[in-house]
Structure 1
């Protein structure tokens, strides 16, 4: 599957797409699960709720955000692949976090949930035909293709792995 064209997604997502240098997206989506496990295996339980600054998310909340975003991107992928043309609403990740109990959930359980959601998305993507991959719909008042959403999913995780490495000083993010 070729990389998405810039016309297939809003400029907001360019940074996420740029994080993905590979052309074959399904292996990237799969390998990120193991990379996250390796990266976060280094975090001691007492540091899972660490915040690098006031008002910033904890490590657990970052993973919770990845779960939330993966679900949203997966829903968008599913509906657009099925031909939905109505605009799909955006989401406010900070508002979602206000109503999420992620700091009360063990990191291991959060990673398990993320793995299940991601594997479900991979299975869905693997079973799409070539027409569905190129199908475009509207999300957050902007056009987006199924192909772009797959790259956005991967780029979003890479972005946050970089944040975990740089801001939370967890080594080995990639």
Structure 2
């Protein structure tokens, strides 16, 4: 089981996500369990429903899922790189990423399938890390972060967006 990282192992902003993961949770099992929950939620939508946004200027549900995919790719890539050696990586601007794609033209079931395949790959990667690799760190967006924190950030980011979808997007 991967131990929850201390606050000194990531920048304070990411506590928003990491704190959503229960203290004694098996984070890898949580990622696996939420894979089906997230897939079921988004794949059950019609394309029309997936175009819903709760307010002007907010993302559609397709864009929310696309953002979740983008962020998981970024977090897992950072974890991969940092598990291999200490290195510095550039930041990630979520709005630039969303504005540079056209998730809204994609079929929601296809997006849900991409999410599910990505999660499988993420789980294979995260399960492969040794204890030593989980303690390694790197710099992302100018801030030190360790590999275990990135695993927890992946889980917490998903929990954060699932909660937002439940609170603001349920029609």
Which bin holds the TM-score, normalised by the shorter protein? over 0.9
Give RMSD over aligned pairs. 1.3
The secondary structure found in structure 1 opposite 2:138 is: strand
User: Once the 2 structures are TM-superposed, how far is the Cα of residue 95 of structure 1 from its aligned partner?
Assistant: 1.1
The match for 1:26 among 15, 19, 28 is 28
- Give every structure 1 segment of 4 or more consecutive aligned residues whose post-TM-superposition deviation is greater than 3 Å: none
The equivalent residue for 2:131 is: 130
CA–CA separation in structure 1 for the residues paired with 2:106 and 2:5: 36
- Structure 2: tracts of 5 or more residues without a match: none
CA–CA separation in structure 2 for the residues paired with 1:101 and 1:147: 32
The equivalent residue for 2:92 is: 91
Moved more, 92-101 or 41-50: 41-50
The secondary structure found in structure 2 opposite 1:4 is: coil
The equivalent residue for 2:81 is: 79
Deviations 1:49-93 (A, max 9, x none): 1111111100000000011101100110000000132x2111111
Q: When the two structures are superposed, what TM-score results if normalisation uses the length of structure 2?
A: 0.94
Residue 65 of structure 1 pairs with residue 67 of structure 2: yes
Moved more, 108-117 or 60-69: 108-117
Which structure has more helix as a fraction of its residues? Answer: 2
Q: When the two structures are superposed, what TM-score results if normalisation uses the length of structure 1?
A: 0.92
The alignment of Structure 1 onto Structure 2 pairs a total of residues equal to 169
The secondary structure found in structure 1 opposite 2:51 is: coil
